[in-house]
Amino acid sequence: MTLLPLEDVRGPLPAAGPATVPPPRFPSATRLLRRALVLVPLLLIGVWVAIDWRTVYDGSARLASADPWWLLLALLFTCLGWLTAACVRQGALPERLPTGLLIASQFAAGAANHALPASLGAHAVTLRFLQNRGIPLPRATASLALYSVVRPIAKTLVLLVFLVAFPDVLLTGTLVPEGWTLLLIAGGATLGLGLSALLLATVPPLRRPLLDALRCALTDVRLLHTRPARVLALWGGAAAAPVLQASVIFAVGAALGSPLSWVQVTFAFLAASTAVGAVPAPGGIGPVDAAVVLAMNALGTPMDIATTAVIGYRVLTVWLPLLPGALVLSALVQRKVL
């Protein structure tokens, strides 16, 4: 049997032509979105500097003549604040999170927190971090809710401890809220709860995820409070956070010559931030600052020193970490940690 050549069976082989060039591949929508998210923090910094550059300039100029050792202590308290935030986040979850990435995420969340009101930026960064760690959405949402509930409760408890421990030093008539102020605070809290209940009752798509998160939160609360390490991280970190913030103000005030003691400054910050902390301002900037200045002035600090101390506090806790925090946020997004 004679075998025919291949070209006799299938016809002539095609001549070798030029190599086919594959069509150009364009970045996917997900990749474009990720690249945009990398640039968003830097754009927010530029917008914020353009709007509020005078605060940064004045605060930095006044701090240039302050005692550098007290300012170094204030910077140390600022760094400890990021560690306490990471402790509270870990304490609100049964799962073990990687320590280094958790601290980095909270440092990045601090930058995002000053761009959106009511801590929405920090919660968004943390939620994304938890989901990328494999935490289910209901449990991640429940941890955010637990974090948000524990912090004001712990701050109020610390304030009560200060009132009981130092009644003669702290009780000042100008710091005691008037009746209409207490009524306004109670009315605001009632309105917030009422709106939440109304949304839950009238918007069915919100009902199921919120109820799932609530059930998960109740389960996690019972589980977490059977672990002493989680209890210490959750409640200890939440109680230490406002004390460290007040310590930053005290150290900056001491660098400028403020006559107030640490106890008085801490009480002034706790009282002021508790009274107006519910106002939805980015990072608490604005209402809390004004309230702290008035409280420090009522306790004996000259108005110019109190104002400069709060400006210095914002420079150390907001402006100095803002650019590094935004860069860390961009790096975490680029590496798909967020």
pLDDT at 209 (0 to 100): 65
The Cβ of residue 205 has, within 10 Å, a number of other Cβ atoms equal to 7
The residues spanned by each domain of the chain are 67-334
The pLDDT of residue 239 is 93
pLDDT for 59: 61
CB 91 within 8 A of CB 295: no
Secondary structure of 91-110 in the HEC alphabet?
HCCCCCCCHHHHHHHHHHHH
In this structure, what are the phi and psi dihedrals at residue 282, rounded to the nearest 5 degrees?
-60, 115
Report the pLDDT value the prediction gives residue 42, as an integer from 0 to 100.
53
Supply 138's token pair: 């209901």
- Tokens of residue 186, six digits: 């109670």
Of how many residues is the chain composed?
A: 338
286-to-50, 188, 292, 311, 319 alpha-carbon distances in Å: 17, 18, 10, 11, 15
* 46-53 contacts, C-beta under 8 A, 24 or more apart: 48/114, 48/115, 48/322
Model pLDDT, residue 31: 58
Rounded to whole angstroms, the Cα distance separating 26 from 302 reads: 61
Which residue bears the tokens 């280094």? 100
Q: What is the pLDDT of residue 166?
A: 80
b/e 266-283 (16+ beta carbons within 10 angstroms → b): bbbbbbbbbbbbeeeebb
Per-residue pLDDT 10s for the chain (338 aa) are 555 554 454 555 555 555 555 555 545 555 555 555 555 555 655 665 566 566 556 666 777 778 889 999 999 999 998 899 899 998 888 888 888 888 988 888 877 776 555 567 788 888 888 888 888 887 888 888 888 888 888 988 998 888 888 877 655 545 554 454 445 555 555 665 566 666 656 666 666 666 666 676 677 777 777 888 888 998 999 999 999 999 999 999 999 888 888 998 998 898 888 766 555 555 555 667 778 888 888 888 888 888 888 888 888 888 788 778 888 888 888 887 77
pLDDT at 195: 63
